[in-house]
């Protein structure tokens, strides 16, 4: 590409249609500030590089809490405080390991030769370790229907769920929704038929071999057997190997729970000038899985939340409603932070106008998703032209998030989510490559721009 | 992000509104094929990793031509051929080098100490080398107005254009359009006032220090002085240093031209079943700058062009019009391939319905841009709902590209371009990090899906 030949109709239409209006001017100021003077990328560098992965209960979680409170206070909200909540404290224990043993037929001997291959694995979050190396023959199943068909062959075996991440879903979160049940329910459904361990194909379209962790949910009716994820190349290799003979895997995982421990939601507030007792909440979650830095999941949502407060303060914006900026605790393996926030809101009889979550990565903007009444959705749809110049052209239904879901359940609060592009998210999700280097500065900033613009419109016009 | 809470309104609306129609069904088949069985990513791996950078006249250009013809023939078009064109043959000569010398004041001495710093540089494409190390005092200018103000101070100096890539443009191509004149005209405009060398701040928002090359255009009225680009960190450092004292730079570049050489546009064709003498052209350019692999620029456009042919063949699509798939020669430093294609089309009296270029990188889709009549634009806008489920939601005005521009000039052909997201493009543009690893498989594939879908609609309904 040598020369510019095009001028976006969106940028043009923005300048032509809206340049006179107060809203478009204010949103332009938001963008100019964030894209020129914003600090979200530097905030993320500190959170990821100086603190790193910050699973609930870990020393890094406590460092991240202190950093989060200080970062919010530095932007001078009207208030900032810690909200206590007890969180589960799962510990990986030690590096997870697995190796496969299989027979390679020798050219002139019938018996063949036993060969070993190290697999790149990570234990599922909240899973119990094997205690000692656990060896078993591997039985591959394609899905739960296949598991049921093979239920009589599973006793004392290691079940390998090789369910593919469906490439035909354009939006990768649909592929995740389709596949994640094997991580959540897979171990217990295999244990029901006597399996002693589980291996899961990672939920990803990645072209590398990184394994992806994430919570599993044991059913208390069955033994809590060890479970781990493998990367896509190892999964393809294992499946191919099983086509030509038996494979034994020895897995060694070390996960366990300590006692629940004290953690905190970190909250800052700008007080409303007209409706101080009506709240708008925006947030992301401060905890992250341990193998990486939690840069996209959900460092991005955390620093965007802080950035929205920063730009509102920098522009001297006085909101009509009270706006809360929340760094939630324990999204990944318990959801206790979100539950606590909603519980306290209900106990205090608070009125919540809207909650927005940013927890789909710091990628380039696509839109805003919303769950509420049809009338509210229509109102939001009319704002599309104000957001589209900054990339959020798609006003979708179905907004929400793990941390704000409880608010909808206990207070019927309308929910929204910031929707970035989804193509790269599951390349890094819960894997060792969810690091700062894989976040693009401007994409991260444009997320903050669109969230700030949307919250400004909700605050000004209500729902 | 632990659980999926949203279901895209776009995916939903697609299935609800269009599932019965022939067009949406065919486009769904295009997407299913490309996302499941496509080969564009593997094609790109070979082009970038086995061939690499392929500047006009280089040995790699010839390898790339052979590969391109074979790749198109392997998909069994009705015809495939080479179209000869003479191209300039610029040679970098050797690695470009520069170092800065400046005085660091010593605490207790007035005189200070001379210090040297190596700069990370790359000569501008088509620039002439210094011949031998060239040393001069650096004069920084902010823009051309500043150059004119300082015109009496420039004799025998090295001019440093430190014009920033404006972060307030959301679409980065607008920042490029704003800044690229300093690369194009900067050397000659400085030479006019007696400068002996030029340094340009790279046109990029990157957070690294990679320098970005690209063509400069000498004005024959002035001496053709050497010119190079430096990365953003070095540019900021140099500017800071100049604020506190004099800086000399020694630059050593080696560029020169050999005689023009024979190259080729690589062309494949599917013959039209109803209008065989009306042509639709899609293409990208095969040449690329030498410091990297030309993965996004424009390996992506090349493999997407091949992929569109592949999916049409795989689905047994018989186009109404003849469709040409063109891998253009010499976009980067001459534009001779595009010029030749248009010239021959005119000489043969061909009728061209539309040309589309993919040369803005292999990033996630945003839309299609179009230049033609208002009636044509309205017609295309009505197809937005068919493309949006695959990411091309924005139907923009202003489509075109360097390679297809000549068709519009000589035959008044309507032009379009595939528009991917622009945020990351100038991080890698003409720099050493434009490599295969920075291309995402699904983003690349979704580009091919949208191009194929758009071309199908143009072929079926005309313009």
- A5 and B405 in contact by Cβ < 8 A? yes
Residues in chain A closer than 8 A to B44 (CB atoms): none
The Cα–Cα gap between B337 and B315 comes to 30
Please tell me which residue of chain A has the smallest CA distance to B36: A167
- B2/A360 CB distance under 8 A: no
Residues B283 and B303 sit within 8 Å (Cβ to Cβ): no
**Three-state secondary structure call for residue B119:** strand
Q: Do A10 and B173 touch (CB under 8 A)?
A: no
Q: Are B154 and B194 in contact (CB under 8 A)?
A: yes
Assess whether the previous peptide bond of A373 is cis (omega < 30° from 0): no
The rounded distance, in Å, linking the Cα atoms of B437 and B440 is 8
- Regarding an ipTM greater than 0.95, the answer is no
Q: Do B446 and A12 touch (CB under 8 A)?
A: no
Percent of residues, chain A, with pLDDT higher than 90: 93
State how far the Cα of B218 lies from the Cα of A296, in Å rounded to an integer.
45
Mode of pairing for the β-strands spanning A365-371 and A394-397: parallel
A441 closest CA partner among B235, B435, B424: B424
Count H helices, E strands: chain A? 16, 16
Q: Where does the pLDDT of residue A11 fall: very low under 50, low under 70, confident under 90, or very high at 90 and above?
A: very low
Closest in B41, B394, B443 to A423, CB measured: B443
Per CB-CB distance under 8 Å, the chain B contacts of A170 are 11, 31, 35, 389-391, 446
Tell me: the pLDDT tens digits for A321-351? 999 999 999 999 999 999 999 999 999 999 9
Per residue of chain B (463 residues), give pLDDT as tens: 444 333 443 444 444 444 448 999 999 999 999 999 999 999 999 999 999 999 999 999 999 999 999 999 999 999 999 999 999 999 999 999 999 999 877 666 556 788 999 999 999 999 999 999 999 999 999 999 999 999 999 999 999 999 999 999 999 999 999 999 999 999 999 999 999 999 999 999 999 999 999 999 999 999 999 999 999 999 999 999 999 999 999 999 999 999 999 999 999 999 999 999 999 999 999 999 999 999 999 999 999 999 999 999 999 999 999 999 999 999 999 999 999 999 999 999 999 999 999 999 999 999 999 999 999 999 999 999 999 999 999 999 999 999 999 999 999 999 999 999 999 999 999 999 999 999 999 999 999 999 999 999 999 999 9
Task: Indicate the length of chain B as a whole number.
Answer: 463
**Looking at chain B, which residue has its C-alpha nearest residue A450?**
B170
Give the closest-approach CA distance of B1 to chain A in angstroms.
5
Say what the pLDDT of residue B110 is. 57
Residue A178's contacts (CB-CB under 8 Å, 6 or more residues apart) are: A166, A169
Distance CA A160, CA A162 (A): 6
Which pLDDT score, from 0 to 100, does residue A110 have? 57
* Least Cα separation, residue A397 to chain B (angstroms): 6
Place of tokens 């068919």: B386
DSSP A192: T
Six-digit token string for A200:
């899961």
Chain A residue at shortest CA distance from B33: A168
Q: Give the CA distances from residue B389 to residues A13, A79, B383, B446, B452, in Å, rounded to whole numbers and listed in that order.
A: 23, 43, 11, 10, 14
- Contact check, Cβ <8 Å, A1/B389: no
- In sequence order, what are the beta bridge partners of A413? none
Round to whole Å and give the CA distance between B309 and B319. Answer: 11
Q: Which residues of A touch B443 (CB under 8 A)?
A: 423-424
pLDDT score for A21: 85
* Sign of torsion over alpha carbons B137, B138, B141, B144: positive
Instruction: Let me know: does A265 contact A339? Beta carbons within 8 Å.
Output: no
If one counts every other C-beta atom within 10 angstroms of the C-beta of residue A182, the result is: 24
Q: Assign 3-state DSSP to chain A and report helix, strand, coil percentages, each to 5.
A: 40, 25, 35
Name chain A contacts of B10, Cβ cutoff 8 Å: 171, 394, 396
Rounded distance between C-alpha atoms, residue A198 and residue A253, angstroms: 11
Lowest mean pLDDT among A17-31, A310-324, B330-344: A17-31
Nearest by CB to B421, from A9, A11, A364: name it: A364
Cα–Cα distance for residue pair B185/A2, rounded to 1 Å: 14
Predicted local distance difference test score (pLDDT) of residue A425: 98
- Dihedral sign from CA coordinates of A439, A442, A448, A454: negative
- Residue A227 CA to residue A221 CA, distance in Å, equals 17
In degrees, to the nearest 5, what angle opens at C-alpha A245 toward C-alphas A243 and A246?
115
Report CB contact under 8 Å: B10, A401.
Answer: no
Question: Which residues of chain B make contact with A331, given a CB cutoff of 8 A?
Answer: 2
Q: Is A343 within 8 Å of A406 (Cβ atoms)?
A: yes
Question: Smallest CA–CA separation between A358 and chain B, in Å?
Answer: 9
Please report how the helices A9-18 and A22-37 are oriented relative to each other, as an axis angle in degrees rounded to 10.
130
Closest-CA distance, B434 to chain A, in angstroms, reads 13
* Residue B145: C-alpha distances to residues A171, A386, B194, B217 (Å): 48, 35, 17, 19
Cβ within 8 Å, pair A423-B429:
no
> Are the beta carbons of B361 and A332 separated by less than 8 Å?
no
**What tokens appear for B260 in the block?**
């023009």
Q: Which residues contact B330 (CB under 8 A, 6 or more apart)?
A: B56, B85, B87, B88, B263, B285, B287, B336, B337
DSSP output for A280-312: EEEEEE----TTS--IIIIIHHHHHHHHHHHHH
> Tokens representing A5?
């030949």
Are B180 and A3 a contacting pair at CB < 8 A? yes
User: Cα angle at A430 between A102 and A449, to 5 degrees?
Assistant: 155
Residues of B in contact with A443 (CB under 8 A): 423-424
Residue A232 has pLDDT above 70, yes or no: yes
**What is the distance between the alpha carbons of residues A363 and A422, in angstroms, rounded to a whole number?**
8
Query: CA–CA separation, B269 vs B69, rounded Å?
Result: 12
Vertex B312, ends B307 and B318: CA angle to 5°?
155
- Across the interface, whether the CB atoms of B6 and A173 are under 8 A apart is answered yes
Considering only CB atoms, A214 lies closest to which of B2, B32, B214, namely B2
Please answer yes or no on whether B6 and A394 come within 8 Å at the CB atom: no
Label the pairing between strands B109-119 and B97-106: antiparallel
Residue B16, C-beta contacts closer than 8 angstroms, at least 6 positions apart = none
Q: How far is CA B424 from CA A364, B9, B224, B235, in A?
A: 9, 27, 33, 20
Show residues of chain A in contact with B421, CB under 8 Å.
Answer: 364, 421
Active-site residue numbers of A? 331
| Cβ atoms B332, B325 nearer than 8 A | no
Using DSSP bridges, classify how beta strands A158-161 and A197-201 pair: parallel, antiparallel or unpaired. parallel
CA distances from A294 to A93, A209, A437 (A): 19, 19, 11
Instruction: Report the 10 Å Cβ neighbour count for A457.
Output: 21
* Contact between B364 and B352 (Cβ < 8 Å): no
Size of interface A-B (CB pairs under 8 A): 186
Q: Could you give the C-alpha distances from A405 to A6, A286, A412, B361, in angstroms and in order? A: 42, 17, 9, 38
- What is the pairing mode between strands A256-270 and A79-91? antiparallel
User: A262-304, pLDDT tens digit by residue?
Assistant: 999 999 999 999 999 999 999 999 999 999 999 999 999 999 9
Q: How many CB atoms lie within 10 A of CB A351?
A: 13
Q: What is the DSSP letter of A215?
A: B
- Nearest-CA distance B260 → chain A (Å): 20
Cβ proximity of A286 and A68 under 8 Å: yes
From the CA of A234, how many Å to the nearest CA of chain B?
Answer: 19
C-alpha A427/C-alpha A204 separation (Å) is 6
- Shortest Cα distance, chain A CAs vs residue B286, angstroms: 12
In A, minimum Cα distance to B400 occurs at: A5
Q: Count how many residues are written for chain A.
A: 463
Q: How would you classify the pairing of strands A365-371 and B121-123? A: unpaired
Q: CB distance B9–A417 less than 8 Å?
A: no
pLDDT tens profile A153-171: 999 999 999 999 999 999 9
Helix (DSSP H) and strand (DSSP E) numbers for chain B: 15, 16
**Distance of alpha carbon A165 from alpha carbon B68, whole angstroms:** 32
Q: Which residues of A touch B173 (CB under 8 A)?
A: 4, 6
Tally of CB atoms within 10 A around B260: 15
When the pLDDT of each residue in chain A is averaged and rounded to a whole number, the result is 95
Instruction: Tell me if A231 sits within 8 A of A209, measured CB to CB.
Output: yes
Q: Please answer whether residues A261 and A89 qualify as being in contact, where contact means their C-beta atoms are separated by less than 8 angstroms.
A: yes
Cα A30-A32-A34 angle, rounded to 5 deg? 65
Burial of B60 (0-12, 13-18, 19+ CB in 10 A): buried
Look-up of token digits 């179905």? A398
- Number of Cβ within 10 Å of residue B118's Cβ equals 10
Spatial CA neighbour of A417 closest among A363, A374, A367:
A367
Query: Inter-chain contact A364–B31, Cβ cutoff 8 Å?
Result: no
**If you measure CA to CA, which chain A residue comes closest to B387?**
A170
Residues of B in contact with A2 (CB under 8 A): 214-215, 331-332, 335, 402
Among residues B307, B331, B350, B360, the one annotated as catalytic is B331
- Beta-strand runs (E) in A75-108: 79-91, 97-106
């Amino acid at each position: 590409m040598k020369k510019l030949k095009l001028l976006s109709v969106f940028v043009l239409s923005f300048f032509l249609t809206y340049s006179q209006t107060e809203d478009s001017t204010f949103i332009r100021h938001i963008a100019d500030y964030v894209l020129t003077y914003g600090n979200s990328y530097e905030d993320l560098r500190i959170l990821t590089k100086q603190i790193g992965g910050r699973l609930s209960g870990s020393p890094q979680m406590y460092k991240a809490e202190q950093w989060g409170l200080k970062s919010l206070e530095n932007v001078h909200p009207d208030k900032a405080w810690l909200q206590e909540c007890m969180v589960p404290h799962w510990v990986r224990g030690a590096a997870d390991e697995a190796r496969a043993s299989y027979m390679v037929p020798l050219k002139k001997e019938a018996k063949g030769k036993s060969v070993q291959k190290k697999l790149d694995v990570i234990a599922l979050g909240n899973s119990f370790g094997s205690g000692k190396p656990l060896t078993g023959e591997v039985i591959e199943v394609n899905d739960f229907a296949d598991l049921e068909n093979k239920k009589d062959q599973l006793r004392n075996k290691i079940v390998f769920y090789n369910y593919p991440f469906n490439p035909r879903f354009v939006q990768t979160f649909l592929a995740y929704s389709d596949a994640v049940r094997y991580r959540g329910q897979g171990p217990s459904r295999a244990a029901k038929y006597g399996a002693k361990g589980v291996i899961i194909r990672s939920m990803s379209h990645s072209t590398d071999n990184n394994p992806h962790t994430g919570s599993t949910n044991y059913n208390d009716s069955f033994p809590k057997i060890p479970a781990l994820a493998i990367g896509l190349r190892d999964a393809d290799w294992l499946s191919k190997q099983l086509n030509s003979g038996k494979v034994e895997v020895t897995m060694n995982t070390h996960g366990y729970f300590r006692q629940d421990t004290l953690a905190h939601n970190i909250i800052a507030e700008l007080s409303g000038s007209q409706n101080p007792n009506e709240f708008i909440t925006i947030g992301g979650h401060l905890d992250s899985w341990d193998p990486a830095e939690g840069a996209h999941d959900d460092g991005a949502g955390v620093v965007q939340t802080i950035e929205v407060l920063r730009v509102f303060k920098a522009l001297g914006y006085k909101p009509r409603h009270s706006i809360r900026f929340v760094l939630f605790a324990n999204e990944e393996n318990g959801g206790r932070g979100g539950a606590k926030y909603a519980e306290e809101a209900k106990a205090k009889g608070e009125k919540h106008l809207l909650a927005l979550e940013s927890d789909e990565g710091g990628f380039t903007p696509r839109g805003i998703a919303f769950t509420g009444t049809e009338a509210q959705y229509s109102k939001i749809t009319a704002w599309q032209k104000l957001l589209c110049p900054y990339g959020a052209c798609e006003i979708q239904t179905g907004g929400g998030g793990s941390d704000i879901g409880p608010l909808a359940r206990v207070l019927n609060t309308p929910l929204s989510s910031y929707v970035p592009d989804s193509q790269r998210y599951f390349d890094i999700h819960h894997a060792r490559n969810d690091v700062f280097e894989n976040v693009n500065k401007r994409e991260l900033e444009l997320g903050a721009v669109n969230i700030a613009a949307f919250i400004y419109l909700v605050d000004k016009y209500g729902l």
